[in-house]
Amino acid sequence: MQHLIPLDNLVAALSRLPGIGRRTAERMAMALVQDQKGLMRILANALLEADDAIAACERCGNITLSSKNPCDLCIRPRRDAQVLCVVESPGDIIKIEESGGFQGRYHALMGRLSPMHGVGAADLRVDRLLRRITDEKIEEVLIALGTDVESDATSSYLKEVLSTRNVKVSRIAFGLPAGSAIEYSDATTLARAIKGRQEIG
């Protein structure tokens, strides 16, 4: 391939997007430089606009407009201000909001404990969580992390840290996903569903 440095730079930048390998980045870059409708400039402007206009909420870590900080979810009076849902990232907040199953406020850790990737407790927003529990008189912390090893470790760590505080700590339930059958469930999911069984009727 003839080497055009601006093209190489574009491929390198695109390769840093999640899930985009070198071949895909090359295909994207070629499509962009051949595009007749100004897509390169449209995309560049969208990126610059988003970079200017979007910020992390200083309170919960959610993404918000730079001009609206703290974010809507933090200041909306209708929400239950005494329950904090702890998530890994802003994307999780969006998923939980879409579910309609939670009416309290959020706190994004911006990661999870991962010794393998050099992420320790000091890299997460735990200090701010503890401060919020005091300042906002939080009564319940709902941990909404996944089921992988790192999320389990993070959850255990939080439970320990929070045990010295006067708050109820809960974790979202694990069990069969909606629409699934026993027949197709894996052993770990089934074991967790049985362990988390609830009395009915």
With CB under 8 A as the contact rule, the residue among 6, 115, 118, 177 that binds a second copy is 6
By CB under 8 A, is residue 49 in contact with a second copy? yes
Number of H helices, E strands in the chain: 8, 6
The pair of three-digit structure tokens given for residue 144, joined into one six-digit string? 């909404």
By CB under 8 A, is residue 13 in contact with a second copy? yes
With CB under 8 A as the contact rule, the residue among 22, 33, 120, 168 that binds a second copy is 33
Beta bridge partners of 83: 140
DSSP 8-state secondary structure symbol assigned to residue 182: G
- Beta carbon nearer to a second copy, 93 or 162: 93
With CB under 8 A as the rule, give the number of residues binding a second copy.
54
The pair of three-digit structure tokens given for residue 47, joined into one six-digit string? 């990126």
CA distance 198 to 178: 16
Neighbours of 164 (CB within 10 A): 8
| Contacting residues toward a second copy, per CB under 8 A | 1-2, 4-7, 9-10, 12-14, 16-20, 24, 27-34, 39-54, 56, 63-65, 72-73, 89-91, 94, 97-98, 110
